Structure 1
Amino acid sequence: MSADTARPRRRADAERSIARIVTAARATLSTDPHATVDDIVKAAGVGRMTLYGHFRTRQELVEAALADALRAGEETLAHVDLTGDARDALTRLLESSWSLVAESAALVEAAQGVLPAGRMRELHAAPAERLNELIERGRRQGVFRTDLPVFWLINTVHYVLHGAAEEIRAGRLDSADAGRVIVATVQAIVAVPVGTGGTASA
């Protein structure tokens, strides 16, 4: 085997090893946000030296796992139809995204414990921007409230989604009913207050 042939094969082997480790990290941390590197090594079926050859610290591994989960989520959300009435579009977005949030809640908890707040915002930039654009459009259409800042409405939606995930894990909210509860709650939060016409500025 020539050196030129060996190098691509080593790169391919390394990429498969990284993918295997990241997949194991996602699954393990989604079950237990406090999972150790040894737990992930065992789940991935690799040695510690192999893992540390790709990820120098647990923080790097957690970030890679979260980034991978967010990329997968973006692939799903990018196909959601957000055209037309902003209220209907928001319902479709929530119905598509709440289960993704529930699945990654423990992973997000793990990341919050090791990643700076600024990095967390960077990783969540795409979904935040999608929601921002939708709320802004709803305000222009006159169907979403304008008496509260957009950033506050966005953060509140995130609190509802993550809160629902925690309630599901605690067994107080049935996952089969979560979508309905989340949509009803968020729509009530962003709706124009009765009697205001939604014309107050923020």
Structure 2
Amino acid sequence: MTTRAPRRDAVENRAGILDAARSTLANDPHASIDVIARSAGLSRRTLYGHFDDRDSLIRELISSGAQRFNAIAASVTDADSTLALARLAAVLWREAAHVQFAAALALDEAHVEHTAAALAPLRRTVAALVVRGQEDGSFRTDLEAPTLARLIEETARTAIARTDAASAGAANLAVRAVLSIAGLSWREADALLAAHPDITAATA
């Protein structure tokens, strides 16, 4: 039996709902499904034709955002472990800063399990980078690799959820916090960022 492709208007409606949800939730993270539907120019009934409830809509937003984060993580290919971690933190911050409301929503306890699953490729990238950094002596070894990787994740999560992305130096602070957790001193972080100003420029 041949499965029909979704009608064009249905695809456009779904995309419109997701766009409306992003902009609406940016202004009000607690916006109701009715408000989102109105913002999309659709009826509540039409919206429910695409999503079962508000949570399913938010999960879709998280999944689409996670795909971008996973792709970004895969694009960081520096051979030097500390440089790779700094660049990864920088480019992920830049992406998260543009959609901080969605990133914070995704990292909320209510959605953290779904977010963890959606970001599995990114988490594997971080885990592999931590192992590499420990093996080449760049990162601290007083903690097991899975524990250190989790601490790096939690540090990034806190920075995204608690820091004003628009504030001066916020991105630089986030990158330095991650490097510090990995075991670099502030002087080593200074030297690394001074030697690679493109990382700081990428976070502006």
Provide TM-score, normalisation by structure 1. Answer: 0.77
Gaps of 5+ in 2: 186-204
Distance 1:156 1:175, change over 3 A: farther
| Residue in structure 2 matched with residue 144 of structure 1 by the alignment | 139
Contact 2:159 2:174 in 1 (8 A): yes
| Residue in structure 2 matched with residue 54 of structure 1 by the alignment | 50
Runs of 4 or more, structure 1, over 6 Å off, are none
- Asked whether 1:19 is paired with 2:15, we answer yes
| Residue in structure 2 matched with residue 83 of structure 1 by the alignment | 78
| Residue in structure 2 matched with residue 180 of structure 1 by the alignment | 172
| Residue in structure 2 matched with residue 64 of structure 1 by the alignment | 60
Gaps of 5+ in 1: 1-6, 194-202
Contact 1:101 1:165 in 2 (8 A): yes
Question: What is the CA RMSD across the aligned residues, in angstroms?
Answer: 2.5
Flag the structure with larger Rg. 1
Contact 1:161 1:182 in 2 (8 A): yes
For residues 139 and 119 of structure 1, the distance between their equivalents in structure 2, rounded to whole angstroms, comes to 29
User: What pairs up with 1:19-168 in 2 under 5 angstroms?
Assistant: 19-80=15-76, 82-111=77-106, 112=108, 114-115=110-111, 117-168=112-163
For residues 161 and 18 of structure 1, the distance between their equivalents in structure 2, rounded to whole angstroms, comes to 31
- The SS at the match of 1:20 is helix
Across the two proteins, how many residue pairs are aligned to each other? 181
Which deviates more from structure 2 when the two are superposed, residues 133-142 or residues 144-153?
144-153
Provide TM-score, normalisation by structure 2. Answer: 0.76
Deviation at 1:192, TM superposition (A): 6.6
For residues 89 and 153 of structure 2, the distance between their equivalents in structure 1, rounded to whole angstroms, comes to 10
